[in-house]
Amino acid sequence: MLEVVLKLLFIVLVVLAGMLPLITWVERKQSAVMQDRIGANRADLMGVTLLGLLHPMADVIKLFSKEDFVPAGANRILHLLAPVVAIVPAIITLAVIPYGGTYVFGASTLSLVVADVDWGILFVFAVGSIATYGAVMAGWSSNNNWSLLGSMRASAQMISYEVTMGLSIVGLFMVYETLQLPAMAAWQDDSFRLLGFVEHLGGVQLPAFLGWIRLPAWGIFLQPLGFVLFLTCIMAENKRPPFDAPEGESELVAGYHLEYSGMRFGLFYTAEFLEVPVIGCILTTLFFGGWAIPFLPQETIISFIGAGFGEGFATGVCLVLHVLSFLVKVALMIWLQMALRWTLPRFRYDQVMDLCWKVILPLSIANVFVTGAIILWVEAVIA
């Protein structure tokens, strides 16, 4: 019980209380840098601005002070529940994200994941799909035509991209041979010879020095197309630019949360930004080795440090290094999402749907067949 409580505290303090406020600051500052502006720098405490880091706190105070308005004719119960339904799935998803490996301290074993379930990635898809109901409930219950149109766009877009999102990483399932997220990350704590396929393909013996050319066994190197497709789909699921057609200001004013104000709007705002680090965690686990440090397997770190300081101390250092490695990769994934968000213009709604059904879906299916053919070929060569 203590172990679970400590893991939950890590998620609450680091992701919810740490990353979430910083995401709003990163959005403002990164867009300012890309557009040659200064960015958020007005909020201060006794004249100290802290590079704009006080703006998230100012946002919260402002939202709490706003009037909580419910339009006439709205369904008050669903209008109240919709923001909660939108934000809860993002929080629950963190339960199956491993931010470290499994570590042995004497007779005790510590695994840095709250719920290590056999079907972890399926849990992510199942819970993530619940957020669709939040958008639909918000648009319908507001008794506003623009809100209803926004919710219809959101439901069609999110349901469509859930299909392609699942297919885009089937190739990873075939490579990892598991649906457990900790097992997927542990599988990537290794490396492979970049030119090793030449020997298997042509029977040519390569010079020994070429064996030093290796790559981490990360998903992005094994499934590069799958990474591009999955990143596109999961960003479309988050409804952030360039996939923010459900909130298109030029056509729908504000979309499905048009009739929301105060902290209820703040919950939609929070859900959208919370999903950014959650997406970063998922991408890191699936495609960037999770907590793994390139070319430094866990056994190597523990044996090297343990030779001088003891195995227990070495295991503790390895745990800290792995968590830091995971957080650095998540930060890079957040930067990537922000860069795409402030680089690409918004797609038209028909372009969003065409991209899903006419481009990503065929490529995802082709990726599955190509991956299967390569796996069969490698097994035949090795046998």
Domain assignments of the chain as residue spans, ordered by start: 66-382
Q: How confident is the model at residue 364 (pLDDT cuts 50, 70, 90)?
A: very high
Q: What local confidence, expressed as pLDDT, does residue 232 receive?
A: 93
pLDDT of 132 above 70:
yes
What whole-number distance in Å separates Cα of residue 21 and Cα of residue 60?
10
pLDDT of 283 above 90:
yes
Q: How confident is the model at residue 287 (pLDDT cuts 50, 70, 90)?
A: very high
Name the residue with higher pLDDT: 49 or 164.
164
Report residue 16 as tokens.
């919810």
Residues whose CB is less than 8 angstroms from the CB of residue 160 and which lie 6 or more positions away in sequence, other chains included? 353, 356, 357
Q: What local confidence, expressed as pLDDT, does residue 383 receive?
A: 63
* Mean pLDDT over each residue of the chain, to the nearest integer: 85
Summarize the confidence of residues 5-12 as an average pLDDT.
71
Q: Look at the block and give the residue holding tokens 């686990």.
A: 285
Summarize the confidence of residues 230-257 as an average pLDDT.
83
Do residues 174 and 123 touch, judged by C-beta distance below 8 A?
no
Q: What local confidence, expressed as pLDDT, does residue 171 receive?
A: 92
Query: For residue range 42-54, what is the model confidence (pLDDT) as tens digits?
Result: 888 888 888 888 8
Q: How confident is the model at residue 203 (pLDDT cuts 50, 70, 90)?
A: low
Q: What percent of the chain lies above the pLDDT cut of 90?
A: 23
Q: What local confidence, expressed as pLDDT, does residue 198 receive?
A: 63
Q: What local confidence, expressed as pLDDT, does residue 288 receive?
A: 94
pLDDT of 199 above 70:
no
Q: What percent of the chain lies above the pLDDT cut of 70?
A: 92
Q: What local confidence, expressed as pLDDT, does residue 212 receive?
A: 73
Q: What local confidence, expressed as pLDDT, does residue 64 receive?
A: 81
Name the residue with higher pLDDT: 197 or 166.
166
Q: What local confidence, expressed as pLDDT, does residue 196 receive?
A: 67
- pTM for this entry: 0.89
pLDDT of 145 above 90:
no
Summarize the confidence of residues 9-15 as an average pLDDT.
71
Q: What local confidence, expressed as pLDDT, does residue 210 receive?
A: 67
Q: What local confidence, expressed as pLDDT, does residue 200 receive?
A: 62
Do residues 290 and 113 touch, judged by C-beta distance below 8 A?
no
What whole-number distance in Å separates Cα of residue 366 and Cα of residue 359?
11
Do residues 55 and 40 touch, judged by C-beta distance below 8 A?
yes
Cite the DSSP H helix spans in 177-261.
181-187, 196-202, 219-222, 224-238, 249-252
Residue type, position 189, single letter: D
Name the residue with higher pLDDT: 140 or 383.
140
Q: What local confidence, expressed as pLDDT, does residue 184 receive?
A: 92
**Phi, psi at 130, each rounded to 5°:** -65, -30
Q: How confident is the model at residue 204 (pLDDT cuts 50, 70, 90)?
A: low
Do residues 285 and 32 touch, judged by C-beta distance below 8 A?
no
Summarize the confidence of residues 216-221 as an average pLDDT.
91
